[in-house]
Structure 1
Amino acid sequence: MRPMLLATASVAVLTLVALSAPVRAADAPFNRISTFNVVENLPAGADPAKPTAAEIITYTEDGNTLIYSDSPGERIGFIDITDPAAPKAAGVVALDGEPTTTVVIGSKAYVGVNTSVSKDKPSGHLAVVDLATRKVEDKIDLGGQPDSIIKSPDGSYLAIAIENERDEEVNDGALPQLPAGNLTTFEVKDGRVVDASKKVIDLTGLAAIAPEDPEPEYVDINSRNEVVVTLQENNHIVVVDLPTGKILSHFSAGTVDLDKIDTKKDGVIDLSGSMKAVPREPDTVQWIDDNRFVIANEGDWKGGTRGFSIFDKTGKLLFESGTAPEHMAVRLGHYPEKRNKKGIEMEGAEVATFGDDRLIFVASERGSLVFVYRDKGPGAAPEFLQVLPGGVGPEGLMALPKRDLFVTAAETDNRKDGGIGSVVTVYQRQPGATAAYPTLLSVDGPDGLPIWWSALSGFAADAKDAGKLYAVTDSAYAQARILTIDATATPAKITAATVVTRDGEPAKGLDLEGIAVRPEGGFWVASEGNPEKKEKPTQNLLLRVGADGAIAEEIALPEAVAAQAGRFGFEGVAVVGTGADETVWIAVQREWKDDPKGFTKLLAYKPADKSWGVVRYPLDKAAKGWVGLSEVSPYKDGLIVIERDNQIGNDAVIKKLAYVSLKDVKPAPLGSEVTPPVLVKSEVKDLLPLLKATHGYVLDKVESFAIDAAGNAFIVTDNDGVDGTSGETQFMSLGKMN
């Protein structure tokens, strides 16, 4: 059958208009109500240090229990969501291989299990798990490696994509790599899969790309018992009639020209690049109705088109998102700059009806966002509604419309690197509510594209304009930048970006961690050094920067003091006094070599005579990891600091604001034999309740704090430039400071 690809320029233009508008709340938005850490569901005796993951997720027919596939652990896990705001661990079932997808039919769970000893010798079976006894009571041989499994809406069929995936280490992952995959189906009678009804549907000879080696990736079934199958690497789509096994249609997923994208891994998000004729390489597919379906164009070989598309079953392209979701990820600080080949990598999808709305959910694995749209029918572009944050790498998406719930499974486990593990996130549809996320986004810059940002690491407030803040970005990017934020807006808005320059060029080798507004205009900026780096070690610097971003002066520590510095250096900067009394205070994150254990430094620099002084700050004892300072801001006759541990999720214990008075405090001359005075601190605010109130996991890096001209206080978290993190940024107003 000839491919039918009828995309038009008008479709593409409509897409950009529909999806590039600022984020707004849906009429009945979804908001996160709970997060479940998969590691909490480990069986007795399991090693908690080993990777564990929730990848694909489903639920029991009563909607009270979630079931996820844990491929690294070779098990499926159960989560009790009788109270969705308080999910509970409900045990696991061990399997004889790696589970891929699970479907529930009545009292049984049918799990696709990959038992392949190698990529060229694929094998697998369908494990039948009794939900009451949590026992594997049968295994149905599949003759290959199963990936996606789906049951028909009427419960009469089961369809399985037997992928028999390629080995990416062989010939650079090029196709063909036999044996070929196929579509395997079963009939379901009286709530049980009929083994003898097994039917293997040959998909070879259809795709233009490696026709002898189809690699089915995902399947879905409509109410007519027609199954749509994506052949990801083959860039092809097949529609099959289940009762007869006949192929009804098949067609190429086609290509897309991508403009205004970032194509270089250079530490800068530059949306001036382009890629031509990029194959979509669809992953997840979901029927919207009996004629249309949506595909998430991940790309697992050539790169994918970073978006999603809607086709009808004849192959007619009805909608193409283009780069709009990717631009939204940039706008929200979720763009993974280190993943430019695939961009935000759209992978998961779900379609469900909530009330009168047919909703489409599409997940970005690398941007860790779920985009939510309202279907407007065959002749219109879907309406963008909102984005949802979750864990790292959301892949499994599942809607529970009867309970007004939506669930994501984020498979990435970053615990060995100090990050968060795999999580399952529950969202609730809340009519009349306001979308809780995002809390911060950017407007378009002078070029008409979103101002790029991420990795916020320091705050300062404008001396005159209430709600006007300045932020700096850290070494996650090659360019040091100062951002202007309008905190009076909801969400708060980044309205401008200024590149920090040296001799007219973007300054290199900086790790901006603090910013303060100078009384005379411009800024004081602190750059954290790392003298312990094996290659190109850097020094801690205090920079005097003009309003235009140009560095006017670079101030280094005296050599004898700089020699005492460790890996954790300058973090925040604050200005106290004016004229000859102006003092710049700098917070050092952790102990240096000359500090007693449990004490760090606050440095005082007087521009008038270029002198340095030092006091010591007593750190709380860490329950796990370490405790240090992340920010310093002027307040009354002293300073407020952010003191925090470096822990994330349930391990986080210390995230707080503390106050130290400077009254009658005389800093010791830096480098002298005079013992520095020890400051007396008092807790101003415990930030943990605020971080927990988002119903996500507690974010590690609360790094920025400022009090604006009206006395309102604000904090923001640092998302590390979406490198090993979910990209989530929480900007919070703390109200008036008394």
Structure 2
Amino acid sequence: MRVKSPSSKLALSGQIVAASLLCLNLTACNDDDDNNDTYFNRVSTFPICQQIDSNCNTDETTVAEIVAASSDGMTLIYTDSQLENLGFVDISDPANPKPMGTVALSGEPTSVAVNGDYALAAINTSENFVNVSGELAVINVPGQNLVTTIQLGGQPDSIAVSPDKSYAVVVIENERDEDLGEGIPPQMPAGGLIIIDMQGEPGQWTTRSVDMTGLAAKFPEDPEPEYVDINADNVAVITLQENNHIVLVNLVDGSIVNHFSAGTVNLTQIDTTEEDPALISLTETQNNIPREPDGVTWLSTELFATADEGDMDGGSRGFTIFNTAGEVVYAPGNALEHVVVSHGHYPDARSGNKGNEPENVDFGKFGGKDYLFVASERSSVVFVYDIDNASQAQLKQVLPASVAPEGLLALPSRNLLIAASEEDARGDKIRSALNIYQYNGSTPAYPTIKSTNRADGTPIPWSALSGLAADPNDNNVVYSIQDSFYQQSRIFKLDVSQKPAMLVEDIVLKDVNDVLASLSVVQLDDAQVAADDDTRVSVFDEADLAAMINSDKTVNLDPEGIAVASDGGFWVASEGSGTMGETNRPINSLNMILKTSAAGTIERVITLPEAVNAVQLRFGFEGVTEADGKVYVAFQRAWNGEDNARIGIFDLASSTWSFLFYPLDPRESQAGGWVGLSDLTALGNGEFLVLERDNQGGPDAAIKRLYRINLSDLNDGDVISKTLVDDLMDNLAAAGGHIPEKIEGAAVLGNGDVLIVNDNDGVDDSSGETQLINLGNIL
């Protein structure tokens, strides 16, 4: 087909309609329209594994990637590339979605769209990256049966149906082999575009091809179209991600009406370095980073938005609103990066690549207002932007999603938003899911914690919260602590008088007085380690000790528990690393209780008796608390083949240890696993609150419980009795998402309210969701 000359080829630089708002002041960027008090809140999460087993008791990998809806909005239809099928879900009651079965396909579905009673599934049937093929399967939605197939001649990606149902467009990506050489185009065959004229019954539909070679400045001979959307004028917008290019096509005659580079962005105050252990540092700059857009959606007949994932040349880490002339109307700069940092969702392991990695966008008008939705694949959130004034887009809220949201679907007719999260790995406690949000809340339920800004305008970075402790002198303050996922161990001060709770201060632990550095190296003889010879075993050598202390005297520990000390400052329980006698898990650190000042300076280090260190298990110190001149610490699991987990008691006056034994609940999860302790809080009069959990999440979670114990009349070696205070499963399910695995912190405020919090694993094989929940006065 003959290609018309573009109406304009405008360079993006110097032609910005509205300047990019960098949102250096995050608080200002989060201001909401005072006249619009309706929010989106998650009402349910449908795990795709329920299509296989109603309880998800299956290891089979399933995927929900792209999602569409039936014409009445009552049925969701999603692509499962792993099992090569289309899945159907009944959402007549959005709070209780139900499986409706699947339809097997001839290959890997890449996208799906709906026209009336028909679901149109683009299917990749290619043999390899060179011998490419694909087809369009037309499925009857009510009957869930194949009606016809249409050959596409190449490997498809996205599909869209025009608002008037006259046309469907399939982009033929013919994607590159990322393992071939350096994975850089050109790699033939070239991609293109297929227009489907949908007059009559599906068997009568016809196709037309649009040649897209020679348009982009980058790899012009190898266009790789990624995503498509169609406006009310029957103009399709197509992103060519690897080419960093955007093309507009008139579907009536197949002419190219405009095309232009997606341009570049300059990013300041971002993190581009991946450290191990992780460190979020918003101090770096990247210039001239190609946007390399992925998903695209029309906002009107004149404006559209792209999700700027970045691909080969860094990560552009945002989104862009363009007009049809190719001018930038709005771009958020570094705002998305700062937002996910402030919400505890920043994926530090992706700092060197694409950061939060915006994957897809969708548009919807709800309550008379225009909203843009942006899915962040690596941070597992959906950004909701108010775009009534597109040149001054305002962040309205951030929605939590299951791991790796890919497809977005706005359903204004039902006040619903759907996000399809594709990652599925039962062993990692991750299940692919459809996240369902409803536009009807007077307040946003998420986030539950958000950090304030530092003096330089960047948010205080946080994630991977472990223990929790209430300030005995301030009913509105609790403290938490980050675990070993991050270097430079820190304590966090949270103001819980508002929602979300505000993380207002981070206190960095430091060994300025060399208290930790001077810790003696412990040598154990053969009798203590039950060895058959006289070898002496070092369980804490100088190299291990040196690895804990940075050059600036900050420390790299594994803080799992925190308590406010009676004489000021904090008690911190640091879990040991390694298991005695396991060569693949060598001892790298001991379990330690650290006393710090209020400013985080380490003042004292307490270790276990040598005989106990000699049987160290990697599941060590978790919760810590102080009462009546003693420090109590919970061991996560039973050591040395013992029947029960220990509660260690250190007498501060005599510097002696004693131990009691806590009977853990037997495991109940359908996935097996283990049960252990997570936190310990003194209640007074010899009583303590204990947090007990299994190591399962999502549909496999079974044990998340609070127990009360009384240690008043017990002696060294006694077994503890416990009384159930609260089964937390219903409280956790009320958030509408998967049950988090690691409920690791519990605290009791002065007014008797009990708070719990989960560890989000530093957004590594995790959605990053943190739920700080006030259970009320349950004691």
Under TM normalisation by the shorter chain, which class is it? over 0.9
Instruction: Quote the residue 1:78 is aligned against.
Output: 88
Question: Shift of the alpha carbon at 1:621?
Answer: 0.3
8 Å contact 2:24–2:458 — kept in the other structure? no
Higher mean C-alpha displacement, 541-550 vs 448-457? 541-550
CA distance in 2, matches of 1:194, 1:355: 39
Give the residue type in structure 1 aligned to 2:619.
F
Higher mean C-alpha displacement, 235-244 vs 46-55? 46-55
CA distance in 2, matches of 1:315, 1:491: 39
Alignment partner for residue 165 of structure 1, among 157, 161, 175? 175
8 Å contact 1:158–1:193 — kept in the other structure? no
Question: Shift of the alpha carbon at 1:520?
Answer: 1.1
Question: Shift of the alpha carbon at 1:184?
Answer: 0.8
Superposed CA offset, 1:460-479 (max 9, x none): 11121111111110011112
8 Å contact 1:43–1:91 — kept in the other structure? no
Give the residue type in structure 1 aligned to 2:759.
D
Question: Shift of the alpha carbon at 1:535?
Answer: 5.8
Instruction: Quote the residue 1:342 is aligned against.
Output: 354
1:48–1:662 CA distance, 2 compared to 1 (3 A): closer
Instruction: Quote the residue 2:577 is aligned against.
Output: 530
CA distance in 2, matches of 1:47, 1:588: 30
Instruction: Quote the residue 2:404 is aligned against.
Output: 393
Specify every segment of 5 or more residues in structure 1 that has no aligned partner in the other structure, as ranges.
669-675
CA distance in 2, matches of 1:695, 1:226: 38
Pairing 1:179–2:189 present: yes
CA distance in 1, matches of 2:667, 2:400: 29
8 Å contact 1:114–1:125 — kept in the other structure? yes
CA distance in 1, matches of 2:23, 2:454: 20
Superposed CA offset, 1:312-331 (max 9, x none): 11111111111101100000
CA distance in 2, matches of 1:643, 1:709: 22
Alignment partner for residue 302 of structure 1, among 288, 300, 313? 313
1:14–1:448 CA distance, 2 compared to 1 (3 A): closer
8 Å contact 1:256–1:322 — kept in the other structure? yes
Instruction: Quote the residue 1:625 is aligned against.
Output: 673
Give the residue type in structure 2 aligned to 1:202.
D
Instruction: Quote the residue 2:661 is aligned against.
Output: 616
Pairing 1:231–2:282 present: no
CA distance in 2, matches of 1:664, 1:24: 56
1:115–1:382 CA distance, 2 compared to 1 (3 A): same
8 Å contact 1:19–1:325 — kept in the other structure? no
Give the residue type in structure 2 aligned to 1:712.
D
Give the residue type in structure 2 aligned to 1:626.
W
Pairing 1:351–2:363 present: yes
Question: Shift of the alpha carbon at 1:24?
Answer: 5.7
Instruction: Quote the residue 2:70 is aligned against.
Output: 60
CA distance in 2, matches of 1:278, 1:535: 43
Instruction: Quote the residue 1:687 is aligned against.
Output: 728
Moved over 3 A (4+): 6-10, 13-26, 190-195, 506-509, 533-536
8 Å contact 2:30–2:395 — kept in the other structure? no
Pairing 1:144–2:154 present: yes
8 Å contact 1:186–1:194 — kept in the other structure? no
Question: Shift of the alpha carbon at 1:564?
Answer: 1.2
Instruction: Quote the residue 1:549 is aligned against.
Output: 600
CA distance in 1, matches of 2:637, 2:567: 31
8 Å contact 1:3–1:250 — kept in the other structure? no
Question: Shift of the alpha carbon at 1:507?
Answer: 3.7
Superposed CA offset, 1:607-649 (max 9, x none): 2221001000001100121111000000132111101111111
CA distance in 2, matches of 1:535, 1:642: 28
Question: Shift of the alpha carbon at 1:154?
Answer: 0.5
Instruction: Quote the residue 1:573 is aligned against.
Output: 624
Higher mean C-alpha displacement, 529-538 vs 47-56? 529-538
CA distance in 1, matches of 2:163, 2:344: 38
CA distance in 2, matches of 1:178, 1:85: 47
8 Å contact 2:147–2:202 — kept in the other structure? no
Pairing 1:126–2:167 present: no
Alignment partner for residue 40 of structure 2, among 30, 38, 55? 30
CA distance in 2, matches of 1:535, 1:278: 43
Pairing 1:559–2:610 present: yes
1:420–1:13 CA distance, 2 compared to 1 (3 A): closer
The equivalences for 1:641-720 within 5 A come to 641-666=690-715, 668=716, 676-720=717-761
State the TM-score, normalized to the length of structure 2.
0.90
CA distance in 1, matches of 2:495, 2:207: 61
CA distance in 2, matches of 1:574, 1:255: 52
Question: Shift of the alpha carbon at 1:707?
Answer: 1.2
Instruction: Quote the residue 1:672 is aligned against.
Output: none
CA distance in 2, matches of 1:503, 1:131: 67
1:47–1:135 CA distance, 2 compared to 1 (3 A): farther
Alignment partner for residue 10 of structure 2, among 3, 18, 39? 3
Give the residue type in structure 2 aligned to 1:279.
P
Identity of aligned residues (%): 44
**Aligned partner of residue 392 in structure 2, secondary structure:** coil
Give the residue type in structure 2 aligned to 1:435.
P
Question: Shift of the alpha carbon at 1:176?
Answer: 0.5
Superposed CA offset, 1:303-358 (max 9, x none): 33100001011111111111101100000000001111110000111001113111
1:7–1:273 CA distance, 2 compared to 1 (3 A): farther
Give the residue type in structure 2 aligned to 1:600.
A
Give the residue type in structure 1 aligned to 2:621.
F
Q: Give the superposed CA RMSD.
A: 1.8
Superposed CA offset, 1:38-60 (max 9, x none): 0011289x993231110000011
CA distance in 2, matches of 1:4, 1:294: 18
Instruction: Quote the residue 1:453 is aligned against.
Output: 462
Higher mean C-alpha displacement, 392-401 vs 126-135? 126-135
Higher mean C-alpha displacement, 516-525 vs 280-289? 516-525
8 Å contact 2:292–2:311 — kept in the other structure? yes
**Aligned partner of residue 182 in structure 2, secondary structure:** helix
Give the residue type in structure 1 aligned to 2:372.
I
CA distance in 1, matches of 2:299, 2:27: 19
**Aligned partner of residue 326 in structure 1, secondary structure:** helix
8 Å contact 1:574–1:633 — kept in the other structure? yes
**Aligned partner of residue 19 in structure 2, secondary structure:** helix
Instruction: Quote the residue 1:290 is aligned against.
Output: 301
CA distance in 2, matches of 1:536, 1:142: 58
Superposed CA offset, 1:454-507 (max 9, x none): 000011111211111111100111121000000111110100001111237354
CA distance in 2, matches of 1:583, 1:607: 6
CA distance in 1, matches of 2:27, 2:262: 22
1:657–1:350 CA distance, 2 compared to 1 (3 A): same
8 Å contact 1:42–1:92 — kept in the other structure? no
8 Å contact 2:30–2:397 — kept in the other structure? no
Give the residue type in structure 1 aligned to 2:758.
T
Superposed CA offset, 1:348-369 (max 9, x none): 1100111311111011000001
Instruction: Quote the residue 2:774 is aligned against.
Output: 733
Instruction: Quote the residue 1:424 is aligned against.
Output: 434
Alignment partner for residue 250 of structure 2, among 241, 258, 264? 241
CA distance in 2, matches of 1:566, 1:700: 21
Question: Shift of the alpha carbon at 1:13?
Answer: 3.8
**Aligned partner of residue 650 in structure 1, secondary structure:** helix
CA distance in 1, matches of 2:38, 2:302: 27
How many residue pairs match? The answer is: 719
State the TM-score, normalized to the length of structure 1.
0.95
Give the residue type in structure 2 aligned to 1:617.
Y
8 Å contact 1:712–1:734 — kept in the other structure? yes
8 Å contact 1:187–1:194 — kept in the other structure? no
CA distance in 1, matches of 2:53, 2:425: 20
Instruction: Quote the residue 2:221 is aligned against.
Output: 212
